Amino acid sequence: MEKCAIVAISIFLGWLLYSFVETPFRRVKSDSPTSDGYRFGLMCTLLSMTLILPAATAWGGGWAWRTGAMPAWVTAQLNNSKQFHTDQYGGAGYPYNGWISGGTSAVADLVVLGDSHARHYAEGLNKVIGGPKSKSIYIRSTSCILLPGITRLTPGEDWDKLCAGALNSAIQVIKKSPGAAVMLSESWGEQLQMGGLMESRKSIPGGDTDQGYRFIAGKIEELRNAIRGHQLILIGNVPGAGSPDVIGCFARPKYFPIDCASKLVRREADIPTRSGSLILEEYASSKDDVTYLNPYRAFCSGGYCRAIDDDGVFYSDTYHLSKHGSLEFVRYFEAQIFGILSQDLKVSGRGVTSNSAPDG
């Protein structure tokens, strides 16, 4: 509706300009060419100023008065972030491959594997687990499923080399860290669509359907066997914000009022990855050394998943957690994660797993 209104208004304003500025100007006759030139120059100057002056006042910070009163945290984040996702993504400032925290001894307490949905937990892991609890956390991430025999079939990169190389180098760190736990997180739905079998060059059977999730559960079992003796922490899909521009809701002009709190919420039953997440949880609950962390528990309640709380937005874009969302997730599961790293809990996936369906 807003787009249609903008088009209609632009046509109306164009008609006004044509009728009351352009046409009268063309019809003006003068005996003095100098007078015509002066009038033309003056008109051009005035029209230019109508563009230059508003643009100058809006340069940099924009027109803050357009948005009315915003929550303090929104104002702070917007003032410091011209590109909200780039700056506020939960993995911003952390390496794709390297130490999230600690690492001076080259021995890890936790090894994180996956794609950008593994890296978006970096802020929370560092600020909640790594720094305060003096744990060394290593990450190895690239944009594919880091499991044995899995590659990515999209063009543009040598995915066979990237995927296998990332997994192999991570396993080397795991072997050097006898007491380390391994955390695996992916954008499961998206990666199942892009992924394939390295040997046959065929797509993952079933893609992002339940069949695909069951197939990938078998590959997780292969990883489990490869790192036997280490506890595996498996993280499911995040619910997502349901909007590619979460922060943009707050920056809308106040003359187009909208309740962001009511808009930035998703009904759990409608989230496509919910079924696949349940399959991953069922797999984890059947293994004594696999713990499942269900993001739905951290971000959903009463059948609905929220994208914001009173202190910030949980997502930097549609599905990537923001720094605030990363902290929220790790704080929610802090006791379980720290318990595994400290070996305070019995090695029993059934004793420490979330053991709840994705609908929370």
303: in domain? yes
Whether residues 271 and 172 share a domain: the answer is yes
Residue 154 has pLDDT above 90, yes or no: yes
Whether residues 295 and 172 share a domain: the answer is yes
Residue with tokens 């410091």: 80
Residue 252 has pLDDT above 80, yes or no: no
Whether residues 271 and 134 share a domain: the answer is yes
Better-predicted residue by pLDDT, 258 or 175: 175
Residue 350 has pLDDT above 60, yes or no: no
65: in domain? no
Whether residues 212 and 237 share a domain: the answer is yes
Task: Please report the DSSP string for 141-171 in residue order.
Answer: E-SS--STTEEE--TTS-HHHHHHHHHHHHH
Cβ within 8 Å of residue 86, ≥6 positions away: 92
Q: By mean pLDDT, which of 18-27, 293-302, 341-350 is the weakest?
A: 341-350
pLDDT one-digit tens code per residue, 23-52 = 887 776 666 666 667 777 887 888 888 889
In which domain, by residue range, is 344 found?
Answer: 73-352
Q: By mean pLDDT, which of 46-55, 110-119, 181-190, 278-287 is the weakest?
A: 46-55
**Average confidence (pLDDT) over 161-172:** 96
Tokens encoding 311: 């202190």
348: in domain? yes
The 10 Å Cβ neighbour count of residue 334 is 15
pTM (global) more than 0.85: no
Whether residues 129 and 216 share a domain: the answer is yes
**Average confidence (pLDDT) over 55-75:** 71
